[in-house]
Each structure stands twice: as C-alpha cells, then as structure tokens.
Amino acid sequence: MSKQKITLKNNANYAPLNNYIKLGVLSHIESRYIPHTPAKARRVVEILSDGKIHSTHELTLLLGSDPRAQLQDLRGRRYGYWSIINSAKASKVGQYQIDPRHLSRLDGDDSRARHEAQLAYFKHSREVSENGVINFQKAIELEQQAQAKVDADKQASTWYSSELKG
C-alpha cells in the first residue's frame, strides 16, 4: 500500500475556486467562460443570467460604471464569445439580454450560441479592418492633396520673393 500525501488537489471532490460556480442557471457552462468573482464582467453575467432585458443605464447603476468594456470582454475571446443581444437597434441606449441558448441547458445550445457570437465578432473585426483600409487610403489621398497645396504655396512664395528681389 503506497503512502500518498493527501492534498486538496488529490481529493476526488477537489475543484479550484475559479471552477466553483454559484450561478444557478449558468452552472452547466464551462468555468473557463465564467469571469472570476471580483471582475465586473462576472457581475454583468450574473445580472444578465435572469434572461431579462437590461438597459445600459440599469447596468451602469448596478456596476457603478459604464458596462461597455465588460460587454466587449464577454463577447470576445477572453470569455469564450458570449452571445449578448442588444435589442435597441436604432437607439443609443443599449437594451441587453443574454442569448437564451446560454440559459437553456439543452445539449449544444450554449456552444451554438458561442459559435455564432464568434462568427459575428470576427465579421465585425473584418469590417472594422476594411473600413480602416478604406479610411487609410482616403487619408493618404487627403494628405497628398494638402502637401500639393503646401508645395504650390512654397513655389508661389519663392517666385513672388524672387520677383521682388529682381
């Protein structure tokens, strides 16, 4: 009989603190997708896990700050591409709701929601990059036009000053 040192990690019931999730309806979700407790992103997940729509104003009051950074973190790679729906299409005031598939506990729903959110994330990233390239090209053109005006001004002032000397 080998004498193995008994530690918490050797215990069959051991779970690291960050894996222990007290989120009820989200307890089926892999712990790597759940922000750690002191993070404001964790608070956003807790708030949205009721499945209801929450305004930016409400989230700001509950968090004590603008929730934009936390929503971006949750929707991105860091927390596994949460699908958070903004139902306020034309309004500047966000109306956020977690995708019901994250809450359903049906086999595959959470991963399907994450895959679609990941696709939307990368589509948006591509669009921003494309706009950046277009804007970059436009900026080059505008810079060249401005440089041509400066060069023309220099040319005119050189001609004018040489006329005065002559």
Over residues 78-92, the pLDDT tens digits come to: 999 999 999 987 777
Domain map of the chain by residue range?
8-165
Question: Which whole number is the average pLDDT over 51-67?
Answer: 96
User: Beta 54-55 vs 84-86: how paired, if at all?
Assistant: unpaired
pLDDT-based confidence at residue 163 (cuts at 50, 70, 90): low
Q: What is the pLDDT of residue 120?
A: 94
Q: Indicate the helix (H) or strand (E) that contains 55.
A: strand 54-55
Residue 113 has pLDDT above 80, yes or no: yes
Sheet holding 95-98, edge to edge: 54-55, 95-98, 84-86
* Residue 115 pLDDT greater than 80, yes or no: yes
The pLDDT value given to residue 92: 78
Residues in Cβ contact with 14 at an 8 Å cutoff, skipping those fewer than 6 apart: 8
81: tokens are 């591409």
Q: Comparing C-alpha atoms, which of 84, 83, 86 is closest to residue 111?
A: 83
3-state secondary structure of 59: helix
pLDDT of residue 21: 44
Q: CA dihedral defined by 27, 86, 132, 118, rounded to 10 degrees? A: 30
Percentage of the chain with pLDDT > 90?
57
User: Given pLDDT bands bounded at 50, 70 and 90, which one contains residue 25?
Assistant: confident
pTM recorded for the entire structure: 0.69
Q: What is the pLDDT of residue 132?
A: 86
